[in-house]
Each structure stands twice: as C-alpha cells, then as structure tokens.
Amino acid sequence: MIFKQVFRIAFVTLIWKQYKHIIVSTFLLFAYLFLVSSIHSDFLTHTVLKEDKSGSGLSFVYKWLAFAAGIGAYFFYHSLRSRLTKQTKPPAAVKETSVNAPTVDPDDPFNAIRARKKLRSRADFLDGKD
C-alpha cells in the first residue's frame, strides 16, 4: 500500500519535471479562453438588458480574434521554446580515447587488462572453457 503511494508520487513528480512548461501553459490557455468566453457572455447579457444589440455582431468578431490570438501565442511560445532548447542543449559528449587505445601511463595497473582480446571470469577458468 505504501509503495503504491510512493510510486504515484514519484510518477507525478517525474511527469511534472518533464512537462511542467506544457502543463502550465496549457492551463493558462484554458484559463484565457474561459475568461474571454465569460467576458463575451457578460457583454451579451449586458446588451440584452440594455436592449441595444448594435454591437453584438462585432463582439463575436472580437471574441474569435481574441481566441485566435491566445492560441497563436500558445503555439508561438512552444515553437520558440523548442527552438531554444534545441540550441542550448550541449552536444553529446565525445569520448577522446577509444576503448581499444592503450593508455600512456606505464604505471596503470589496468593496462594489461585493457590489452586483452577476451576477458574471462574466475568461473570460466574453473570450467576450462575458452
């Protein structure tokens, strides 16, 4: 039971660390869309109460332009973020010495082991297998 809870917390932490920016920006986008819809519905309620429907048509245009701007900003943010993370990632570390290259230090105790073509364990010696 306790391991199940620890696993859940570890999993949620891993997901949060990996996708924190996407989760937060998506939440902000949904909050923005909800806010624009609420403001638009309040405006429509206000025009019904005033019995002046002259700006209703234009309010729909503004609403959809605001939706498009919010969604455009969301995608712009994520495309900009992906470009920046690709540029700032350090290149993969390249090993300067290969595995088969002999070491320069003659006092290295593992130099003889590196020079071997085949490594065998103590069990291989006891079995007598090559």
pLDDT digits (tens, 9 = 90+) for 17-49: 999 999 999 999 999 999 999 999 999 999 999
- Does the pTM exceed 0.75? no
Give the number of other Cβ atoms within 10 Å of residue 121's Cβ. 8
Region 92-99: what's the mean pLDDT? Answer: 53
List, in sequence order, the alpha helices (H) in 1-130. 2-50, 56-88, 111-115, 122-127
Mean pLDDT (whole number) for 80-100: 68
Q: What is the pLDDT of residues 60-76, one digit of tens each?
A: 999 999 999 999 999 99
| Domains of the chain by residue range | 20-87
Of the listed ranges 1-15, 26-40, 85-99, the least confidently predicted one is 85-99
What's residue 8's pLDDT? 93
Portion of the chain with pLDDT greater than 70, in percent: 86
Rg, Å, the chain Cα set: 32
Summarize the confidence of residues 72-101 as an average pLDDT: 75
